[in-house]
Amino acid sequence: MAHRGAAGSVCILKFVALLVALSPELLFLGAEVQLRDNGYNGLLVAINPQVPENQNLIPSIKEMITEASFYLFNATKRRVFFRNIQILIPNTWKANNYSKAKQESYEKANVIVTGWNGVHGDDPYTLQYRGCGKEGKYIQFTPDFLLNDDLTAGYGSRGRVFVHEWAHLRWGVFDEYNNDKPLYINGKNQIKITRCSSDITGTFVCEKGLCPQENCIISKLLKEGCTFIYDSTQNATASIMFMQSLSSVVEFCNASTHNQEAPNLQNQMCNLRSTWDVITDSTDFHHSSPMDGTECPLPPTFSLLQAGDKVVCLVLDVSSKMAEADRLFRMQQAAEFYLMQIVEVRTFVGIISFDSKGEIRAHLHQINSDDDRKLLVSRLPTTVSAEAKPSICSGLKKGFEVVEKLNGKAYGSIMILVTSGNDELIGNCLLTVLSSGSTIHSIALGSFVVQKLEELSHLSGGLKFFVPDKTNSNSMIDAFSRISSGTGDIFQQSIQLESMAETVEPHHQLKNTVTVDNSVGNDTVFLVLWRTGGPPEIVLFDPDGRKYYTSDFITNLAFCTASIWISGTAKPGHWTYTLNNTHHSPQVLKMTVASRASSSAMPPVTVEAFVDRDSTYFPHPMTIYANVRKGSYPILNATVTATIEPETGDPVMLKLFDDGAGADVIKNDGIYSRYFFSFAVNASYSLKVHASHSAGKSTLAKSVPGSHAMYVPGYIENGNIQMNTPRKSVHRSEEKQKWGFSRISSGGSFSVLGVPTGPHPDMFPPCKIIDLEAEEQEEEVALSWTAPGEDFDQGQATSYEIRMSKSLKTIQDDFSNAILVNTSKLCPHQAGTREIFTFSPELFTNEPEHQPDGELQESHRIYVAIRAMDRNSLKSAVSNIVQVSLFIPSNSVPVLSRDYLILKGILTVISLIGIICLIIVAIHYTLRRKKRADKRWNGTKLP
C-alpha cells in the first residue's frame, strides 16, 4: 500500500489534464483557488445567510477586489493578480437575477462576510491555524466594514486591506505590529515603537497633544493616555503587513527594509525573516515570473451565484459486501437518523440503491413534517443483492437522474455516497460528476482501497469518511451528522451533543450525562441503538429530575433504534441517561444526542474537526485540529479530545490544546491542535472530536487573537493631529457557562502510508519549539518556552541544546556552529510544561561591538535559539529565533572575569605608585641641583 500516495497524485494529475483538455472552466469546480498565467481563478466570497439583504454589499465587494488586484500586482512586482471571482449570495436574499451555484458553498469560501465580529470592532480578520508560509482558513469581513466609508480613514482603502489579508491567507505571513508589545529596546539601547519598516515616522501624542517620548514611557511601558501617531506623509514604501493604510506603502518588507528587532508575530513565527522572503518562497512564486511589458492586467471578472433549493440524494450500496460486518444494518440506522434529524426542513431528498446498476427507491420529496421524514425512512433499502461488484457510476448517474427532475440540472445538489466496494471504474464517470455541479460526500465502509473514491470527493469539493468494521463504533452516525447543507446557517443545522458506544454485559448498564447548554435545545433528540432483540431498558432524566422511560421512546424494531424528541426547547442543564442491557448476551449499546439552536439571536457553540491533509507518509505526523467557536468568538479552556479509529486495532485518544506550542500556532484562538503519529500499519483512519466545557469557567475570549488589519487612530498632518473616529468595539465581560457544553464533530478520514512492517527504530523527534521568549535581566538572559515531548509533543525530551550568536545568519543557517550555552543543569520537563532558564552570555561582553560604519556601540545584541533531543539523539527542528540587546553602561567597566579585574587593578596601582615615585625623585633631584648651583653662585660673590 506504500505506493498509493504517489499513484493517487498521478491519477489526480491525469484527471485534471483531462478536464483542462475538454473544458477549462470545469477545472475550478469544487477546487481551491488556482494560479494560472499570473492570475488567480476561483476565489470564492460568500455572504452569511444572517446578513440582511443589502444590494450595496455586492458593488462594494467588487470595488474592493478590483482595487486589490492592481495593488497586489504592483506589490508583487508584476507577478500575480485576481482574474475571476465568485460571490455566493445567500438564498435568503430575494433578488433572483443570480446564476445557479454549483459546488460552491459557504463552508468552502475563501472570504466570508458575516456580522459576528464585534468583539474587535470591524477589524478584517484572517484565521491562520498553521505556521509560517502555510495557507490560512478564511478571511472575514463585516458588512459594516464594506459599507461604512468612514472606516477607510483608519484602515485604509478596502483594496489595500484585502491585500494585507490575502497575504495572511495565501502565503502564511503574519502581522508586523503588536498591540500587546508596542515598544521594544533596539540594539542601541533605545526605546522604539514596534513597526516595519523602522523608517516609518511619527510622534507621541498624549492628552494635551504632542509630547516628548520621555513623558509617555515609564519603565519601558507606554503610559496610559499616550499613543504613537504616524505622519500622514512618509517616504517609506514598506510595509503592507504593517500599515497598508499609508499612501506611500506599496510593497512588503524585504531583507533590506525588514525590522528584525520588532517583537511581532512575523519575526516570531518566521524566524526573523521578512514577509517578502516568505512570499517569494511560496509555490505561487515558484510557478510564476513577472509579466513582461508595462501594461496592467484586465480588471477581474465577477460571477454572482445563489444556491437554489436544498437537494440531497442518498446513493446507497446494496451489493453483497454490504452483508458483511453488519454494514447494511449500520447504514440503515445512520440513514434513518439523518432523515429524521439531521437533514434540514424544506430540503428535497431522494434515495438510490445500487449494485451493478442503480435503482430509484424514492424520487425527490420535500421535508416539511415528520410524516415526510418517516416516508423517506420507509424507502431505505432493507436487503442486499447477490451481486458482489458494485457500480458506483451507475448509482451516481441514477442519482443525477432523480435530482435533475426538479430544475433540469443537478447544480448545487448533494450526493451522500455510501459504499463498501472498490470500484476501479469510478474514473469513467468523473467528468460527468464534475460537470453535474453536484458535491459528492463519500462514506467508505470496511477495509478496502478507497483512493479513487476519495479523489472523487476531493475534486467535487465533498467530505470523505471512513467507517471501520467495528460494532462498537459510532463512526457511521458521526459521518452522517457532519454532513450539512453547506449554507452556513448554523441556526438551522443539527448539532451533535453526544456519541457514545460501548459493549455492555447482560444486566449491566451504560450510564452517562449529556449537557444541553442554553445556546441549543430546539428539536432535541435522544437516539438509542442496539443490535439484537428488543430495546434496552431506557431511563432518561432531565435537569429537573423528570423521567422518560422506554415506553416514551419511538421504537423501530427493524432498524433497532429508539428515539425521543423533546417538545419545545429542551431545558438547559445536565441530562442523564441509563441503558440497561436486558438481553442474555453482551451487546453494543449506543446513544446519540443532537439538537438545534435555541434562538436566532444567539449563535450556538460549534466544533469543526479536520486534519491538515488527506494522507501522510511515515514517519511524518498528521496534525489534528478542532475549531471551537461561538459565532466568531473563540472558546477558551475547553476540554477537547480526538478519537482516531484505525481499520484494525483499538482507537487512540488524543487530547488537543490551544496553548500556542507544538502543533498549535496561536494561543487562545479557539483552534485546538495536536500531532498524531501512533501509526501501527498502513491504513485508513477515522477521526472524531469531543469538546466539552465545565460549568462556571469562562469561555469566550475577550478578543480574537491572530491576524488583523491595523486600525490607525490618527495621523500627524502638517504638524497637526488629525484623529480618526474611534472604532466600534464591544467589550464583553467574561462569560461563564452555568451548565457548560458538550459537542461532537466528525473530522472525516485520512490515510497513512509507508509504515514499516514489524518493529522499527524510533523515528519521531521532539517537536519544534515555536514560543521561545527572551528577556534581559541585568547582565543575564532569561529564556522561557513550552517543553516539547520525547516524540513530537508527547512524553518528555531528554536534553536541550541552546546556542547563541552575534550573527543572525549563523543561527539561521548554521545552528550547530553557533556558540553553545552550558545547559548541564537544565533538565526537560513533561511536554506542555513552561520551562525557564537563565544564563550569562559572558563571551559577548568582552568588548564593544563595531558597526560597519565604524561607530562604537555600547550594546551587545545576540541571537538565541534552542532545539530538543530525545533519548535516541533525534533532534527537533531549530526553534524560533529570539534576540536580546545587552546594554553595558558607559561609566562602568565591562565585566570580564574577577581574576582579570584584580590583576588589572593591581597593575594600575603599581603603575600609579611608580609614576608618583618618579615624580618625587625628579623633584628631589631638581631641588638638589638648584641648591648646588645657588652655592656656587654665592661663592663667587664673596670677597
- Helices 57-75, 158-171: crossing angle, 10 deg rounding: 70
- C-alpha separations of 247 from 176, 227, 237 in Å: 17, 21, 9
**Could you tell me the CA-to-CA distances from 106 to 52, 344, 634, 747 in Å, in that order?**
16, 16, 20, 18
Give the DSSP letter string of 512-572: EEEEE-TTEEEEEEEEEE-SSSSPPEEEEE-TT--EEEGGGSEEETTTTEEEEEEEEEPPS
Q: Print the SS3 string covering 338-350.
A: HHHHHCCCCCEEE
CB under 8 Å to 228, separation ≥6 — which residues?
A: 182, 193, 202, 203, 204, 205, 222
Q: What is the CA radius of gyration of the chain?
A: 34
Instruction: Encode burial over 833-861: b for 16+ CB neighbours within 10 A, e otherwise.
Output: eebebebbbeebbeeebeeeeeeebebbb
- Per DSSP, the three-state class of 361 is strand
For the annotated catalytic residues, the residue numbers are: 165
Whether residue 823 contacts residue 815, with contact meaning beta carbons closer than 8 Å, is answered with no
- Helix residue ranges per DSSP H, 287-412: 327-337, 370-378, 392-407
Q: Report the greatest alpha carbon distance in the chain.
A: 159
Residues paired with residue 204 on neighbouring β-strands, in sequence order = 228
> Rounded to 5 degrees, what angle do the CA atoms 484, 488, 490 make?
75
* Residue 214, SS3 per DSSP: helix
Nearest-10 Cα torsion for 905, 906, 907, 913: 110
CA-closest candidate to residue 325, choices 588, 6, 693: 588
* Residue 112 DSSP SS3: strand
Pairing of strands 301-306, 84-89: parallel
Dist CA 390 CA 235 (whole Å): 68
Please tell me the distance from the alpha carbon of residue 807 to that of residue 793, in angstroms, as a whole number.
Answer: 30
With beta carbons less than 8 A apart as the criterion, state whether 447 and 325 touch: no
Residue 911: enclosing H or E segment and its boundaries?
helix 898-939
145 contact partners, CB below 8 Å, separation of at least 6: 122, 124, 151, 155, 158
686, 468 Cβ separation under 8 angstroms: yes
Bridge-based pairing of strands 202-206 and 358-366 is unpaired
| Half-sphere exposure at residue 347, Cβ-oriented, CA atoms within 13 angstroms | 27
Residue 173: HSE in the Cβ half-sphere, 13 Å Cα cutoff: 28
How far apart are alpha carbons 943 and 482 in whole angstroms? 135
Cell 563595531 identifies what position?
Answer: 850
Nearest to 710 by CA among 307, 174, 335, 270: 174
Cα distances from 622 to residues 53, 453, 614, in angstroms, run 41, 21, 9
State the alpha helices, DSSP H only, in 784-855: 808-813
Cα distances (Å, whole numbers) of residue 223 to 26, 43, 217, 219? 58, 44, 5, 9
- What secondary structure letter does DSSP report for 870? -
Asked whether the bond before 197 is cis by omega within 30 degrees of 0, the reply is yes
